[in-house]
Chains A and B, each alone.
Chain A
Amino acid sequence: MKKAFELFWSFFKIGAFTLGGGYAMLSMVEKAVVDQKKWIPNDEFWDMIAVVQPLPGVFAVNTALYVGHRVAGTKGAFAAMLGAIIPSIVIILLLATVFHEYRNQPVVERIFKGIRPCVVALILAPSLRMIKSAKVTWKTAIIPVATVLLIWKFPGKTAYVILAAIVGSLIYAVIINRRETARLRDCETPQSPEVPKSRSQNKKEAKS
């Protein structure tokens, strides 16, 4: 119970003081969990982050849940998650009530008139950076273009578009994985020891 409370407090401080979202939080989590409390060894911590990273949802919440569970079980998971999100919720609620009252003040309106085009730019810039980092070629450029067109043509059906993209990517990944395992099998020397497969692995292979 004490550990759960310590987890809550560590993540509470991180949640209250990190601006700029999940990745800014990461080094603070490392400092608290690995360096100060020594709950998790450094290499294991980064292995855990690698597992959490591709998951959907809020990165900070996923990290808090996973780290919390590793340190203090289910109780720890919930303590860390609540610690990470409670400061956000409280601060935004306070601000929202104040902002809704002063929203129509001319001074506030002037400031936000300047901010709005900046927000548009802040949304466009990471999407283009993502295209760059995903190494989109002229051939694969069809994917982002088709996504934009589908979302534009079917407003409110965005979830289905993303779902279709997930299914498509999964099929692609299964094909790539098969090709890679086939290549690895070809390279393998006959005397290499056979690793016994677990049942769950066999089941997965049967599915794909």
Chain B
Amino acid sequence: MSGVRVLVGTRKGAFVLSSDGARQQWEVSGPHFAGWEIYHVKGSPADPDRLYASQSSGWSGQVIQRSDDGGATWSAVGNQFAYQGTPGTHQWYDGTPHPWEFERVWHLEPSLHDPDVVYAGVEDAGLFRSDDGGQSWQELPALRGHKSGPSWQPGAGGMCLHTILLDPIQRGRMFAAISAAGAFRSDDAGQTWRPINQGLQSEGIPDPDAEVGHCVHRLAMHPSRPEVLFMQKHWDVMRSDNGGESWREVSGNLPSDFGFPIDVHAHEPDTIYVVPITSDAEHFPPDGRLRVYRSRTGGDDWEPLTAGLPQQHCYVNVLRDAMAVDALDSCGVYFGTTGGQVYASADAGDSWAPIVRDLPAVLSVEVQTLP
């Protein structure tokens, strides 16, 4: 019988939540790497037993873990992330030049085709690739080396490359997003990059429609239609119908268009999900009511999903990498909160129930759909 494996990264370890296709009864495994921050755990689309995890701590820095048996056992692999060449500088918070310094891996994106190939998005913003299952890492320097790089500034959480999308149809096309530089596209497997931020408006930067400088929080696409992209920006939910060449706002009737995650239904390319957050200062849901919003029209028209979610006194946040969908016939949707809850819906968001309630703050949620 088919099932799902939910991979949860938290402030103090990783957890693996497993269920059969009904998604009602859950087995909880963890904490793995107890005490360490786990920014992201993700499985290979080419081999569901191959998992990668980004493990870090303030004491000991970055470790990358790899599992070849679906998370039952793990081995530390390579953790040397050296920027290529002379790293140069980006702008610091005070506007002064600041040397590029590796801090941590925010996001791991395994290749769609080869389980030994995996990309890493890091802070300070850079993109790395491993061709040997994580043993060694090489930077794809053209992104950080873009002519706008010296002007990039960190967001409040650091200057992180947090989103990597691999186009499943146009091989070699990939997207990356950086807080607070914006979205970028490569059509040649990362050899060259260009900003794709036309149409974004950010009131918090001196030139609201600048080529770069936008605090993009997350990008999402449906694999059947990769030219259509969705974006949760610092403020504004955006959509592009041409691979990022231009964007239009689709915030519509959302109670707040501030938020972090955005994701797409596994079988309905125009059904998308966001979690509105009150504001940049108030990182909790409006009115203390935890509501996922769903649009079945690719944006503009949104409906709140509340069944099973707390509708009073709820002041958690949902971080950018902490929402995912499974690919079962009735699409499952999952998200984790800074309060340590992981919620699941087995009916595309119509109803929700917590899988676990009291984990450490959740940093990331990914889902594997198992045969």
Q: Does chain A bind chain B?
A: no
